[in-house]
Structure 1
Amino acid sequence: MTHFYRAVPSSLRRLLLLWPWALLSLSAAAQGQLTRYQTAKTQLDQGHYAVAMQELQPLTQPVNHFSKAPDAAYLYAVAATRLGQWAEAEQMLNLIRNQYPTYAGLNEVLYLQGQVSFEQGDYDTALRTLGQLPAEQYAALREAMQANYLAKLKDRAVWQRLRQRYPQSKLVGRLYADFLLASAPLLDADRQQLDALITQFKLERSRYTAVLATAPAAPKALPRKGTYNIGVLLPFELQDNTWQTRRKNQFVTDLYAGLRLAQDSLQRAGHPVQLFAYDTGADTLTLKSVLTLPELAGMDMIVGPVYKSGAKLVARFAREHQIVCINPLSQDASLVLDNAYHYLYMPSAATQGRLAAQFAATAFGTGRPAILLHEDAKDDNEFALAYQAAYEEAGGKILTSRAFRPDDPASLTAAYTGLDLASASHLVVASDNRKAGPPAFAALGTVPSATRPALLAPGEWLDNPSLGAGQLGGPSVYYYHPKYFDAQRPSYRRFRQLYLAKQNLPPSSFASQGFELLLFFSSALQQFGPAFQSALATAPPQPGAIFEGLSYPGGAHDNQVVPIVKLSNLEFQLVR
């Protein structure tokens, strides 16, 4: 033993001598942490919340290696809620979920986080968080909390958004019906929604009879006319003739060319409309000056604008003057909430998510869970929220849900790391960024074909040159594709021929959208007059001349037709 000791270097001998003291020091530190934790619990029990938070805060951090760190973090969040410091509570609850994902009290964390989100007015996050709790233990508590907070909600726009994201929730439906009951007199669209809620959730109709019978604040009735005047508000930017601006605005030029071609077709069919184009420029100042023009208030319908800031201004103008306004490109459902005069030509991102999830529940079943990845951008976040809500309403479960930034390689890699793809029925990737597709197919390629999940992705992936036909046409690869059209359809071929003759180049998707938009809504004008909202709500889906169709049932203000397609033998197959 003596010889061994002498053979050890002097530096190591010093470490060996200090090791017992280090163990004693660590033990003392751990005891000190435990004493501090017990003191903080006492302070919390005595109502000294700020003091408790001060004691607990250092114990919550992973770097301090306290054995009860997640408990300390939870108690810190409880103390913060007692003081009404909701942001501090949320931050600590997020720390538990991110740093201590195996914490035994995670359900209590989710329950408290639901309350914190409600208190901050983030109703959607609250409902989504509470939805992760096991029903057998928390169903009654969860519903009681939801009912308590939702009963206080007075914001119509938030109600509309919740109704879109949770269309099968009886609690949301019943409380929204109560909100409408308290909001009388109602617009005709609101009365239709209330009637649909009563029918869907079998609510007691006698409770709502009075408000349903009340004369609605209906859109103005206007006589039918031989021709209709339509204002087109687009950012032509005619004052800037540089090639950069012309290139940037090519989509505007194409959209307007499609509108003009539809006008010619309507004229030949004996249903003339007059288009009055206004240059809204690239800023809201120009648009505001356009909205002051007296003739605009006399239009029968308005198409445009294309930018969100301008869309809100025009939506307000449309409601004040009772003129239907059609947004030609946006997928933002929030633009048309609580406005009987504002429509989206496109399906909103939320509608796409809901209908895609309904397809998945039918096509892939709900016996195995889904994996949901989405770009961290507004439309894709809206899609993901609606997808998860609808899939869970259908009886399915989301195994993993992650947001990613496709232009950040680390974020994109992290999104696909550690996924249990073999246990999933399908993978959903909500991002039209070209960088999102290749890693999805790479990840699926690592799974044996016998257990490989299906893939559901945006139709824009079909135009991604980084993806091969063998990948895109895989046997279990599907696309939600609002802009899908059959290039062999006679009506499209006729449109393409006419467009080529006029413009000397083939039509872009923007030109096709402009053409289809004007044909559909001009037909509504001709059949029902400018106040066509009620008729549109009860009309059956209409097939499109180019795309698969348009439908606005039950008071919906975005198109409810979302085709699902797959590629088979290099040919498109419409599966929904």
Structure 2
Amino acid sequence: MKFLLSLFFYIIGSYQVSAQLFKQKDDVSKGYTEAVRDIKNGKYQSAMQKLAPLTSANQPTIYSEYAHYHYGVAAYKNKQYQASKQMLLQLLNRYPNWNRTSEVYYLIGANNLGLRNWKEGNLYFDKIKDSSFQEDIQSLKQQYLQQYVDFDSLVEMQKQFPQDREIALELVSRIDKKSSHTKSEVTMATQLQKRFNIELKPKEDSPKSKTTESERLWGKGYYDVAVLLPFRLDAFTVSRRMSNQFAYDYYLGLLQAQKKLESEGISVVLSAYDVSTDEQQMKGIIENPSFQNSNLVIGPLYTSTFDVTMKYLAKSPMLLVNPLSTDANLLGSAKNLFLAHPTIQTQVEKGASFMKKTAKGAKAVIYYGNSSKDSTMAFAYREELKKLGGQILDMQKLPAERESMETLIPTFEQERPDHVAVFGTSSRFGQPLLATLDNRNLGKTPILATASSFNMRQVSLASAGKSLYLLESDYVDKDKEEMRKFQKDYWEVNSTFPSVYSYQGYDHLLFFGRMMGKYNAKFDQGLTLRRYESDQDGYLLGGFDYRHSHENQVPFILKYNGTKWVTIH
């Protein structure tokens, strides 16, 4: 990609604005100039937004061709391969005689590789007649093969594209690196070496003192971080917000933390992998030499690819982090695995124990919403209450509607609960439930609820006079100075506001990056040393506590003090 980048900035620097430019409207000129500056500063999404109006067929300007091309570059750098490809094809269709078509072909080919389409990528590379592109094309193809293609798939690709030298070179190299070979593999490698005149570098003699894998990983002076999230690049569209937007928000938070760590003298290299449920793809990533150099692995999120990852990495010296899971069953997967959140079991155990001390008696009612997480938490809470000697007066799944709640919830005229437990993932669930409980004269009864049951802004004033306690390990306190600074920095880079996933990404990399930077391969010593406070240690959310478990047991029960939510447990 060195050629693409150097060529791109050459275009920015050398494009001479003709006298016609001054006839354009000021806002067009300003938008184009700012977009070019945004690309140079890494603000790709912002650049795309500013360039899109300049690509209109109805209002062509002297910027039209370059606006198309720069949009394609920005989208490609932002890993929005489909959007980049579509814009570049539009450029070729509208301006077939543009004098920089080789650059366009190269970038379309690169986008196709990003979309895992080897055949179509090569079709566009073959259109390029300028020999100066060849070295970069070879480098780009080799990078693709190493990152996305496992050994068995590589063998099949060689059969499908027998004249492709890059495939042959990578296959011979993989066979050479294997500790043992089959007869057919040796024959294949020999034939490919002869056909493509491939010469392998002689293997160096083994050193007298063998370097361990841990020493190799942790003696580099910097830290490789692999991010395995469902970016779903093949389905990306700029026209609507996607269901997996959290993955992009989380990654943008990582980028902010990377800068922060750099200012603290800790060098982190991020590598993003698009991982969902494809087990074969995950095996290919694990075989990738670049991935095998990772110090910290964040993800994957889905069970199928998570299990594959644990199978290969459970005994490795890598630090493994699941950023979102609350499943206690994962804790037994590997000794080097840590969960960034408290598990559901921990939340209900500590919640039930707290309510036993807070409520005046042992009688409780439990209400939960329609999601599987709601019911999982509700039934786990019920079992925990029973262990503590509690009595369940009523337990129901409820719709998030006041009228239905008024019909379904008893009046408790004969026997009243000592506390109420509420588990909902819809922010529309909690408020009508509070109103219904008020109508039962239970407004002052202690209530324990998941924070996701409420819109936190709306519930604050309403709960000021109530005994409402919330389960939330990722509470966003927007009054914190550190939070305000992060939001400002995030906006300047991305031209959008952060989500809770952005805060999580920032905190997770900042914390685990600091542990690696200070303790290196003995990161577990730092993790278990003490509780790392949000305010004291400069984190945005709740902080970190791994003293007693590989799950983050940071305090997560909140109470409204009249002006803001504060941690009380």
Per the normalisation by structure 1, the TM-score is 0.55
Q: Which amino acid aligns with 2:547?
A: P
CA distance in 2: counterparts of 1:223 and 1:570, whole angstroms: 46
2:295 is the counterpart of 1:303: no
- Asked if 2 retains the 8 angstrom alpha-carbon contact of 1:340 and 1:533, the reply is no
Unaligned runs of 5+ in 2: 1-212
Per the normalisation by structure 2, the TM-score is 0.56
Q: 1:422 to 1:475 in 2, by over 3 A?
A: farther
Aligned to 1:379: 373
Percent identity between matched residues is 26
Q: 1:454 to 1:220 in 2, by over 3 A?
A: same
Count matched residues: 353
CA distance in 2: counterparts of 1:574 and 1:547, whole angstroms: 11
SS in 1 for 2:346: helix
- Asked if 1 retains the 8 angstrom alpha-carbon contact of 2:483 and 2:540, the reply is yes
Aligned to 1:524: 515
- Asked if 2 retains the 8 angstrom alpha-carbon contact of 1:229 and 1:276, the reply is yes
- Asked if 2 retains the 8 angstrom alpha-carbon contact of 1:254 and 1:508, the reply is yes
Q: 1:254 to 1:423 in 2, by over 3 A?
A: same
Matches of residues 97-108 of structure 1 in structure 2 within 5 Å?
none
Q: 1:351 to 1:369 in 2, by over 3 A?
A: same
2:438 is the counterpart of 1:430: no
Q: Which amino acid aligns with 1:432?
A: T
2:476 is the counterpart of 1:485: yes
Aligned to 1:504: 495
Task: State the shift of 1:339 in Å.
Answer: 1.8
Paired residue for 1:475, among 434, 456, 466?
A: 466
Aligned to 2:447: 455
CA distance in 1: counterparts of 2:502 and 2:321, whole angstroms: 16
SS in 2 for 1:372: strand
Task: State the shift of 1:282 in Å.
Answer: 5.9
- Asked if 1 retains the 8 angstrom alpha-carbon contact of 2:371 and 2:425, the reply is no
- Asked if 2 retains the 8 angstrom alpha-carbon contact of 1:539 and 1:553, the reply is yes
User: 1:107-147, CA deviations, whole angstroms, 9 ceiling, x for partnerless residues?
Assistant: xxxxxxxxxxxxxxxxxxxxxxxxxxxxxxxxxxxxxxxxx
User: 1:30-52, CA deviations, whole angstroms, 9 ceiling, x for partnerless residues?
Assistant: xxxxxxxxxxxxxxxxxxxxxxx
- Asked if 2 retains the 8 angstrom alpha-carbon contact of 1:422 and 1:453, the reply is no
User: 1:429-453, CA deviations, whole angstroms, 9 ceiling, x for partnerless residues?
Assistant: 111224432442133112336x842
Unaligned runs of 5+ in 1: 1-218
Q: 1:301 to 1:345 in 2, by over 3 A?
A: same
Aligned to 1:546: 540
Task: State the shift of 1:360 in Å.
Answer: 1.6
Matches of residues 231-250 of structure 1 in structure 2 within 5 Å?
231-243=226-238, 247-250=242-245
- Asked if 1 retains the 8 angstrom alpha-carbon contact of 2:367 and 2:398, the reply is no
Aligned to 1:264: 259
SS in 1 for 2:374: helix
CA distance in 1: counterparts of 2:291 and 2:485, whole angstroms: 33
- Asked if 2 retains the 8 angstrom alpha-carbon contact of 1:441 and 1:471, the reply is no
Matches of residues 81-480 of structure 1 in structure 2 within 5 Å?
223=218, 225-243=220-238, 247-281=242-276, 283-365=278-360, 367-375=361-369, 377-393=371-387, 395-400=388-393, 402-404=395-397, 406=399, 416-417=409-410, 423-448=416-441, 452-463=444-455, 470-480=461-471
- Asked if 1 retains the 8 angstrom alpha-carbon contact of 2:226 and 2:291, the reply is yes
- Asked if 1 retains the 8 angstrom alpha-carbon contact of 2:225 and 2:270, the reply is yes
- Asked if 2 retains the 8 angstrom alpha-carbon contact of 1:355 and 1:562, the reply is no
Task: State the shift of 1:396 in Å.
Answer: 4.5
Q: Which amino acid aligns with 1:511?
A: S
Aligned to 1:559: 552
Task: State the shift of 1:411 in Å.
Answer: 8.8
- Asked if 2 retains the 8 angstrom alpha-carbon contact of 1:444 and 1:452, the reply is no
SS in 1 for 2:347: helix
Q: 1:421 to 1:499 in 2, by over 3 A?
A: farther
User: 1:425-474, CA deviations, whole angstroms, 9 ceiling, x for partnerless residues?
Assistant: 2100111224432442133112336x842211111234278x66553434
Task: State the shift of 1:321 in Å.
Answer: 3.2
Q: Which amino acid aligns with 2:286?
A: L
Q: 1:302 to 1:416 in 2, by over 3 A?
A: same
Q: Which amino acid aligns with 1:501?
A: E
SS in 2 for 1:514: helix
Q: 1:573 to 1:552 in 2, by over 3 A?
A: closer
